[in-house]
Structure 1
Amino acid sequence: MTILTTDKALKQYCKTLEKAAYITVDTEFLRDKTYYAKLCLIQVSDPKKNAVAIDVIANPDLDLTPLLKIFENQKIPKVFHAGRQDLEIFWQQYETLPTPLYDTQIAAMVCGYGDQIGFDNLSQKAIGKRLDKSQQFTDWSRRPLSDKQLSYALDDVLYLVDIYEHLVKELDKRGRTSWVLEETEALLEPDLYDLPLGDIWQRLKVKSPRPKQLAVLRELAAWREQRAQEVDIPRGRILRDDILVDISFHPPAKPKDLQRVRGFPKGQEDKKLGLAIIEAAQKGVNSPKDSWPEVEKKKILPPHCQPALELLKMLLKIKAAENDVAARLIASNEDLHELAEFGENAKTTALKGWRKKIFGDDALKMLSGKIVLQLHKNQVKLKSI
């Protein structure tokens, strides 16, 4: 087991990766006590399973430039499994996103292994190997790392080599490689990892929202996010989501108003926390009306479109089974509603790319009466008219 802690060792290893057909990548990090993820290890392997653990805790000043150059090398695909959190770390700490990107969780969905399958389950199903998860909840920031910890960390990128090669063969056989690349493009949008402060409120769940209340919530959420970043603690440790939402419905003008807020820390109403909350809330209250967020009205499908929706749901199940692809990856409930109401004018990804080919085209034919669903020998099939 190889662990890298020096600039020289990392540079030498990255030199060996320059000709690699691809690399597999994983990270170990902690985030339970901080706002920003604390990166502890970066694991990398080449196709020959020359795997290393790059220890950024043992050497905080380790120069990762050689690795980041490999991440930017367009000739070398970077293989992750469910890599969104890993990518967020690389973007926030190094302002880079590894490209080209290949996510085996997405590839597994395209191959019919299920919706958002975990790495251990995929390993068992795809290559018949089970991971040792005994170190799953270990403290990766403590040093020295044990042999068991290192073995656990490296197993992820070693198994990922076999999983990747298995999925590539399966996708090539089915002609679906482009599907995976199309889906992973969404993970390479920087906005996914760096949401503007003024948009943070959109992550909060609000029942019966009103424009002015959302304006207050926008300011409260932005303040909390900024404060969490400044002191590097999870946003929920400053104030929970439900408390923030409650305050937005009853914006305080003075400290005693906060005494009526369930869950607000006792004794903090006239202290720094309370005063900051009042200031943010009043900023929202006094914001120009034309700047208030719009309340999205829940779309209600017209009654005459309900039968079409039910038929589309059935068609989606049939097409997902026929093509061995997770139904959720093909079309969401929102997509089906849009199709049922607007047909060929629907604004939905179900009418684009590979989704249109395996589902969208037949969906439009069914809606226009060119094909029907028919029960034959206890099986639902499509029949042209």
Structure 2
Amino acid sequence: MASLVLNETGLEDCGIDDSFKYNLYGVVYSVAFVLGLVTNCGSLFVFCCRMKMRNETTLFMTNLALSDLVFVFTLPFKIFYNVNRHWPFGDWLCKISGGAFITNIYGSMLFLTCISVDRFLAIVYPFRSRSVRSRRNAAVVCAAIWLLIVGGGMSVTFFSATNRAKSSTTCFEGFSKNTWKTYLSRITIFIEIVGFLIPLLINLACSSMVLRTLRKPATLCQIGTNKERVLRMIVVHLAIFIICFVPYNSVLFFYALVRTQALDSCWLERLARTLYPITLCVATLNCCFDPVVYYFTSESFQKSLTTGKGQARPENVPRSEAVLSGKESNDTEVVETHQLASNGKEQVSETQF
């Protein structure tokens, strides 16, 4: 998290110069702002205006896009700061900018985890999970996640303040080693466990169980899709999660050990200060990669994006995106299990990923 890492205290002790990060942040934030703004605004437009189907997966994706946009809107201030190495926007905007980063990084991981769990339930327990996978339950989960990440962001922004340094004003920098030892290290451990480690384990567990379920021939008949499509969804989802978030959070934990002097070595501090800006930049780009998850996870999103028309879902039919209607007589038993009565007519339910 930017507010926990950009701390220059102690640079003189080992003679470490990590000023390369300012140019690096300036370039990466500029790219993330342009691509993130275009892709996430476009995604929200598709979700809100072009998709006729509204289900729990769509709700998770919409909140993920909102989380990305909250961060994207603060990037111009970060770009100005890293280019000029001066923060003229005041203390409160410094706090908001730091909190937006926390909201994006850990909100993205939690919402991606929700999508992964929803896909797991749809494939592994397609019938028993129908009562659980509802828009109401999804809305409750989204609200809980926002409370969690906003609360975590506020706890961090308490330490995100502007500091006078010679002729300039800094933001996200200047935390003492005592602050790290007493407060920031504890906050870092809590965020790492709740916002990263637990979601990572859940994602890996859900993906492994989905892959195991796909080995059963009857599964493909139940979910009404092909195995290659599901595998592609899993690969894209895990790739974004692992590439963007695993290196960043691993190095953050390593950096916290260095800042609290649990690891007291100039070589290790130099390594931490070199790796952290790089992994933070990769994590920042998640706001540009998330729309890829939307495209590969939601068939309805693909259709809305390419044709402008999302598949309509009949009323009183369980949420879904792939209609189980292409099965012939050998799949009759599966189809009949999904049939629901609506106004005296039978409708085939859908399964969502």
TM (normalized to structure 2)? 0.23
Which is strand-richer, 1 or 2?
1
Which of the pair has more CA radius of gyration? 1
The structure with higher relative contact order (CA 8 Å, sep 6+) is 2
